[in-house]
Structure 1
Amino acid sequence: MKYWNLKKINQSSLDKTGVIPRSISKLFEKFKKELDPNAEVEAIETFKVARYQTVTSVKYLVFLFIIPILINQVSKSFIFGPFINYLWNRDEHIIFLNQSQEERAFADLQRFEEKLHFEILIGKIDHPSSNLINYKMTEKALELAVDYANESSCAIKNILADLLSISIFVSITISSKRQFSILRSFVNELIYSLSDTAKAFLIILFTDMFVGFHSPHGWEVIIEIILRHLGLPESRDFIFVFISTFPVVLDTIFKYWIFRYLNKISPSAVATYHNMNE
């Protein structure tokens, strides 16, 4: 039994290396397929399978993203929106959710005051008085209070709607394992069927965008948008720690993928990537 397994392993390694060059063997295989009387039937069946895979993947991809987005918007407008607005309007003293909102509101009010004094100095405002300045400052403060109260209530709506959308997304993924498997094979085939130059171009584009030397500025903007969307404090320490760790982890995972998978499947693409990256 051991001898048969060893013979099988040796035979498989011989098939991988081969006595005849692989290009010549592939040429003979191509002629053999073209002369096969069942080649046309097999080609049609292959086309049907590829078409089914493509159509199923596109439908599933659209369904996977459109449904959670629609549920997010509908729940935010018709379920969580009225409920949060009712609770929020009961207590008009709640304006800010965190200190970052307060700092932004005070900075806006300070800029408005400086702009108001500038307009007075250049004579744009006729007959300025302390009552007029106090009236305009009060009007601006009330406007900022309404804006930031709406921002705070919208942040709570976003949290609830996003949690519901994520749960729907996970439920769809778990309940449709077959479609997910088809989509995964379709994406893998689509990526690995690209030319070596296209693969190298996409690798360089991805790495420069997310883990390159100029990516921290983009990550900083993204994190600030996410924190503001969820009503969380925009801590500079958290943002800097995230920027200094996450791109490094992402770069390590990406290099491991190149070494572990892409280097075995398409070593020429890896060589092209290194040549283009130099």
Structure 2
Amino acid sequence: MKYWNLKNINKSTLEKVGPIPRSITKTFEKFTKDLDPNAEIDAIEEFRVSRYQTVTSIKYLVLLIATPILTNQLSKSLIFNPLVDYFWNRGTTTIFLNPSQEERAFAELQRFEEKINFEILIGQLPDISSEVIEDKIKNKAHEIAIYYANESADSIKNILSDLTSASVFAGLIFWRKRYISILKSFINELIYGLSDTAKAFLIILFTDMFVGFHSPHGWEVIIETILRHFGLPESRDFIFLFISTFPVILDTVFKYWIFRYLNRVSPSAVATYHNMNE
């Protein structure tokens, strides 16, 4: 039964987009099926295939999401945390992995010193000696050094644990190829089965979020977070170059998909999209 289901699911997955919109062909197919004397049996079989496809896709999707996350957290906590801490504290005195960390650390220390002087000038702190001020600055510098040393060690742990989880994710895809076809079919049916208004709303939501006029600020935060996660230098030139090119490429991909596929599958959804976007 399952192999027959896989055959039918793969067939629907590999369907090519024809010159006639899929909504019209599906309506015609439904009409011919209603005239078939075996329509009830076919409907039961179609329901079984749809149920198997949905359950299998959800299970596989949960597996693809949960397994790499659990692998990442467990490998980082049980393996890489003690391993990196042991070698980091034993054989290195490195605090910063890149100049961006130095700039942030020095700026934080400078703000702390300026804050002390400001509070003394406005009377919030008593007129203390320069030795006491120097001790406060030394203690703050020590705290900053510990913080950035831990951040550098965490970056190495993140790289190792992310590589491990990425390997597990790739293994799930490689060893479960037949489930990829089922998942693709399920996603196609889910997307193309939405109403025209829902399709247009999702397109506008994704395009405005990732390629809209306000998206560069979001991309800047995302890139800075990723670079800090892996301990890479936060190059402003790289960030601005990425922001000026990647959203344009993404916008082109969206437009190509709308023109090449959605316009043939559901032209009414494209018309709704243009009306909502005006």
TM-score using structure 1 length: 0.87
Aligned equivalent of 2:81 = 81
Partner residue in 1 for 2:189: 189
Distance 1:271 1:204 in 2: 13
Aligned to 1:8: none
SS in 2 for 1:79: helix
Structure 1 residue 243 and structure 2 residue 243: aligned? yes
Distance (whole Å) between structure 2 residues aligned to residue 158 and residue 26 of structure 1: 51
Q: Give structure 2 stretches of 5+ with no counterpart.
A: 1-19
Cα distance in 1, alignment partners of residues 128 and 209 from structure 2: 52
Number of residue pairs aligned between Structure 1 and Structure 2:
258
| Counterpart Cα distance in 1 of 2:30 and 2:91 | 78
**Aligned residue number for residue 94 of structure 1:** 94
The superposition leaves residues 110-162 of structure 1 with CA deviations (integer Å, 9 ceiling, x where unpaired) of 11111111221222223411111011101100000000000000001101111
Change (3 A) 1:28 1:277: closer
Q: Please report how far the alpha carbon of residue 40 of structure 1 lies from its aligned counterpart in structure 2 after TM superposition.
A: 2.7
Alignment-derived partner of residue 231 in structure 2:
231
Tell me the equivalent position of 1:253: 253
- AA at the equivalent of 1:74: L
Structure 1 segment 1-278 matched on structure 2, within 5 A = 30=31, 33-34=33-34, 36-91=36-91, 93-278=93-278
Question: For residues 48 and 155 of structure 2, what CA distance do their matches in structure 1 show?
Answer: 47
Structure 1 residues 271, 123: CA separation in 2 closer, same or farther (over 3 Å shift)?
same
In the TM superposition, residue 168 of structure 1 has moved relative to its aligned partner by: 1.0
Larger-gyration structure (1/2): 1
- The one-character-per-residue Cα deviations of 1:171-229 (angstroms, maximum 9, x if unpaired) are 11011011111001000100000011110111011111111111111100000000000
How far 1:42 sits from its partner (Å)?
A: 2.2
Partner Cα separation in structure 1 for residue 75 and residue 219 of structure 2: 29
Change (3 A) 1:80 1:128: same
CA positional deviation for 1:41: 2.5
TM-fit CA distance, 1:93: 2.4
Higher relative contact order (CA 8 A, sep 6+): 2
CA distance in 2, matches of 1:139, 1:29: 76
Give the match's secondary structure for 1:184.
helix
Q: 1:29 to 1:160 in 2, by over 3 A?
A: closer
